[in-house]
Amino acid sequence: MEELKNNLGKILIAGPCALESRLQLRECVKALKEDGVKIIRASLWKPRTSPGWEGLGDEGIDILLEETIPHGLIPATEVIYAEHVEKIIRELKKYGTDATAVLWLGARNQNHLEQQRIARAIANSGMNIYLMAKNQAWHDERHWVGICEHLLSGGMPKDRVLLCHRGFCPGLLPNPREYRNLPDMLMAMRVQAKTEVPMILDPSHIGGTRDNVIDIMLEGELYPFDGMIVEVHCNPDEALTDAKQQLKPQRLRQHMDRLEAVQ
Ligand code: PEP
Ligand code: MN
């Protein structure tokens, strides 16, 4: 896990919600690299609430790898099926057997048979791939711990598993700040302790708006999270997905400068 950490000892993953084009990613990577970000997120297969653009899919794999690995960066993307993992592994191998990537299961991926297949595909590949699991959309501690257990039972080595708190669907709960998803920081800390794997925070999918994202990043600092995954886009208003919540790189940099100053 050490290779995922930045100079503050945290796992910081940043980048656009979705990979939209090579130029979009290139511009974002350039800014983030200057700011010391080592892990670049950009999703290829986008689960959508309503029908719409679903991401570049398979044709984005090469773009993601080519725009990160040769620059000394680690690519990160969501996978929905074990077939996605297999396609990524095939391309990743071209960069050598020690090439590194972070893959994750999104909040909507709740089929434990598929979770195990994904874990198995990674474990059997022998590649240096980390697998992150976000919490499911509904508020249930046992289920979230269970996701981690399914990944381990599928053969994923524990030292390459991490978890991510992206909040829970508000449902009928009070939501005065109109967060997109409600955080339960204390549950995240309990799951971190129970599973003994790193837990990072996703302020983007909790906040849902740029100002809320910043507030959640600040709130997250009060808890011992192991890092953060943040959506960053150079032209967020034009983003094809999650336009309201993606930060410009400058805004993430301001936050990182503040964190460094208080260290
Ligand atoms: C995402 O990271 O862009 C995403 C779809 O997140 P989640 O699975 O948390 O909704
Ligand atoms: Mn998103």
Residue 132 scores a pLDDT above 90: yes
Contact 117, 111 (CB under 8 A): no
Is the CB of 166 within 6 Å of ligand 1?
yes
Q: What is the largest CA-CA distance in the chain?
A: 50
Is the CB of 134 within 6 Å of ligand 1?
yes
Residue recorded with tokens 């959309």:
137
Average predicted confidence (pLDDT) for the chain: 97
Residue recorded with tokens 């960066």:
73
What sign for the dihedral angle of Cα 20, 23, 27, 33? positive
Closest CA to 14 of 240, 227, 199: 227
Residue 49 scores a pLDDT above 90: no
CA atoms within 13 A on the CB side of 193: 9
Contact 183, 165 (CB under 8 A): yes
Over residues 230-254, mean pLDDT: 97
Residue 202 CA: nearest ligand 1 atom is 9
Query: Mind listing the pLDDT tens digit for each residue in 53-97?
Result: 999 999 999 999 999 999 999 999 999 999 999 999 999 999 999
19 Cβ partners below 8 Å, 6+ apart?
25, 42, 43, 44, 55, 56, 60, 63, 64, 77
- Band of residue 258 on the pLDDT scale cut at 50, 70, 90: confident
Query: Mind listing the pLDDT tens digit for each residue in 147-161?
Result: 999 999 999 999 999
Residue 262's pLDDT is what?
Answer: 79
Residue 30's pLDDT is what?
Answer: 98
Residue 260 scores a pLDDT above 90: no
* Proximal ligand: closest to the CA of 241: 2
What sign for the dihedral angle of Cα 156, 217, 258, 19? positive
Closest CA to 249 of 9, 21, 36: 36
* Proximal ligand: closest to the CA of 110: 1
227: left (phi over 0), alpha (psi -120 to 50) or beta: left
2-261 maps to CATH 3.20.20.70: yes
Closest CA to 160 of 194, 118, 202, 211: 118
Supply the pTM of this predicted model. Answer: 0.97
Query: Mind listing the pLDDT tens digit for each residue in 159-184?
Result: 999 999 999 999 999 999 999 999 99
Q: Which residues surround ligand 2, an ion (CB under 5 A)?
A: 17, 242
CB atoms within 10 A of CB 57: 13
Q: Tell me 155's DSSP state.
A: T
How far is it, in rounded angstroms, from Cα 191 to Cα 144?
A: 8
